[in-house]
DNA sequence: CGTCAGGTCTCTA
DNA sequence: TAGAGACCTGAC
């Protein structure tokens, strides 16, 4: 294990940890079900577990958990085996990324559930982050499973494909999903009918995985790359949303470069680390409003 | 009241 | 193969 930890009460304390900044991890655009608390910590639901993550000095404290879950779930979920120093060193050779990395120090790419990420990023298309979060929370409250109450709030697991499969389109649209409702429903149908095994895609190449994901209605190149990067451990995927487009054009390319050319440029430049570069650039661009017209 | 948001789909040339 | 429009919805 790359990180030492101690167990105390219902907490796991990772001492003197580097490359783990909760704000940057949970607000770099990869997840929607982690929320900031008044004390600056973050609480989220993963599978059927509720976890709170807080940084205190140089320690990261995971609350409402235990050693068994840390070893079987959280160590993998937070990708704690990753050598972030090596990635940062390689990417820092580029002067722009060097700045983005300093700015987003401690970003980690989570290893999230494939199905949940598929639905989450289908919901993200032409949408706003607060609305995406609301839609996913409503789906969970209505069709997920009640887990527990934690610090006065109720938490629900994300619904499974079989939970959504039998619903009507109207029921899904009542969860604030809008025109994406039909895509969510058909994704549930495709998974339940075993037309596509979403959990097998991580075992094939990034390129083949992308092709497979594009078979889902509502999944285009950007959403497919998000799924590959955020749930299938494919760090060479490079999702291009409006922010990444802006930041790439601002620093590296001409204005109005088409998406395919940006994609090619990024893959050639960042290669197997493109996804990590994307996360740093995205966070940098969005927090500073780089390239935003106005 | 228009505008627009972490894109994708559909239709046209 | 590329480019323009439409698209749920609700905050501003």
Q: Which of A185, A212, A231 is the last residue of a domain?
A: A231
> Are residues A252 and A223 part of one domain?
no
- What is the nearest nucleotide to A240, using C1' and CA? B6
Cβ burial of A22 (10 Å; 0-12, 13-18, 19+) is: buried
Domain boundary among the residues A81, A106, A133 is at A81
Residue A294, pLDDT score: 42
Chain B: bases < 7 Å from a protein Cβ: 5-9
Strand order in the sheet with A49-56: A5-8, A11-14, A59-63, A49-56, A42-46, A34-36
Domain count, chain A: 3
Relative to beta strand A59-63, strand A11-14 is: antiparallel
pLDDT (average), residues A26-38? 96
Closest residue to C6 (CA, C1′): A179
For residue A39, give Cα distances in angstroms to A33, A36, A55, A223: 18, 8, 10, 33
pLDDT of residue A1: 61
Q: A87 falls in which pLDDT band (50, 70, 90)? A: very high
Residue A111 pLDDT: 98
Q: What is the CATH number of the domain that holds A201?
A: 1.10.340.30
CA to C1' distance (Å), from A217 to B10:
13
Residue A9 has pLDDT above 80, yes or no: yes
Q: What is the pLDDT of residues A256-293, one digit of tens each?
A: 899 999 999 999 999 999 999 999 999 999 989 887 75
Question: Residue A116's pLDDT band (boundaries 50, 70, 90)?
Answer: very high
**Whether residue A213 has pLDDT greater than 80:** yes
State phi, psi for A80 to the nearest 5 degrees.
Answer: -70, -10
Residue nearest to nucleotide C2 (CA to C1'): A258
Of the CA atoms within 13 Å of residue A276, those in its CB half-sphere come to 27
pLDDT of A2 higher than 80: no
- Cβ neighbours, 10 Å, residue A220: 14
Segments forming the whole domain that contains residue A253: 242-288
> Do A215 and A171 share a domain, yes or no?
yes
CA(A125)–C1'(C3) in Å?
Answer: 19
pLDDT reported for residue A291:
78
What pLDDT, on the 0 to 100 scale, is given for residue A12? 98
Half-sphere exposure of residue A174: CA atoms within 13 angstroms, side-chain side: 9
pLDDT tens-digit map of A60-79: 999 999 999 999 999 999 99
pLDDT of residue A4: 80
Whether A162 and A203 share a structural domain: yes
CA terminus-to-terminus distance, chain A: 48
Same domain, A177 and A256: no
**A227: pLDDT strictly greater than 90:** yes
Distance, in Å, from the CA atom of A166 to the CA atom of A192, rounded to the nearest integer, reads 10
State which protein residues have CB closer than 7 Å to strand B. Answer: A 29-30, 32, 124-129, 132, 179, 216-224, 226, 239, 241-243, 282
Separation CA A17–CA A118 (nearest Å):
31
Task: Answer whether residue A293 is part of any domain.
Answer: no
pTM of the predicted protein model: 0.97
Distance CA A25, CA A17 (A): 14
Q: Supply the pLDDT for residue A290.
A: 86
Instruction: Give residue-wise pLDDT tens across range A35-52.
Output: 999 999 999 999 999 999
CA A5 – CA A12 distance, rounded (Å): 6
| Distance measured from the CA of protein residue A258 to the C1' of nucleotide C1, in angstroms | 13
What's the confidence (pLDDT) of residue A256? 86
pLDDT at site A198? 98
Question: Does position A188 have pLDDT exceeding 70, yes or no?
Answer: yes
Nucleotides of C under 7 A from a protein CB: 2-3, 7-10
Residue A41 lies in a domain: yes
The pLDDT value recorded for residue A293 is 57
Q: Which helix (H) or strand (E) holds A42?
A: strand A42-46
Q: What is the DSSP letter of A8?
A: E
């Amino acid at each position: 294990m790359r990180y030492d930890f101690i167990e105390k009460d219902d907490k796991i304390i990772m001492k003197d940890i580097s490359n783990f900044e909760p704000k940057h991890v949970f607000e770099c655009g990869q997840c929607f079900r982690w929320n900031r608390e008044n004390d600056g910590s973050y609480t989220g639901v993963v599978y059927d577990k509720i976890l709170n993550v807080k940084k205190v000095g140089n320690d990261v404290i995971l609350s409402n958990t235990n050693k068994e879950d840390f070893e079987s779930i959280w160590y993998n979920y937070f990708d704690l085996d990753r050598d972030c120093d090596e990635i940062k060193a390689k990417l820092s050779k580029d002067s722009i990324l060097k700045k983005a990395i300093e700015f987003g120090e401690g970003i980690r790419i989570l290893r999230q559930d494939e199905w949940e990420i598929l639905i989450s990023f289908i919901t993200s298309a032409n949408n706003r982050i607060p609305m995406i979060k609301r839609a996913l929370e409503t789906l969970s409250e209505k069709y997920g499973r009640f887990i527990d109450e934690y610090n006065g709030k109720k938490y629900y697991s994300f619904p499974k494909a079989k939970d959504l499969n039998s619903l009507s389109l109207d029921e899904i649209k009542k969860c604030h999903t809008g025109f994406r409702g039909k895509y969510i429903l058909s994704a549930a149908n495709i998974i339940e009918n075993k037309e596509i095994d979403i959990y097998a895609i991580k075992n094939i190449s990034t390129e083949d995985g992308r092709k497979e994901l594009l078979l889902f209605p509502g999944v285009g190149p950007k959403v497919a790359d998000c799924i590959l990067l955020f749930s299938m451990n494919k760090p060479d995927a490079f999702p291009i949303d409006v922010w990444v487009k802006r930041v790439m054009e601002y620093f590296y390319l001409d204005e109005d470069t088409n998406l395919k050319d940006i994609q090619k440029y990024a893959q050639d430049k960042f290669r197997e680390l493109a996804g990590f570069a994307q996360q740093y650039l995205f966070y940098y661009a969005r927090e500073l409003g780089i390239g935003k017209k106005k």
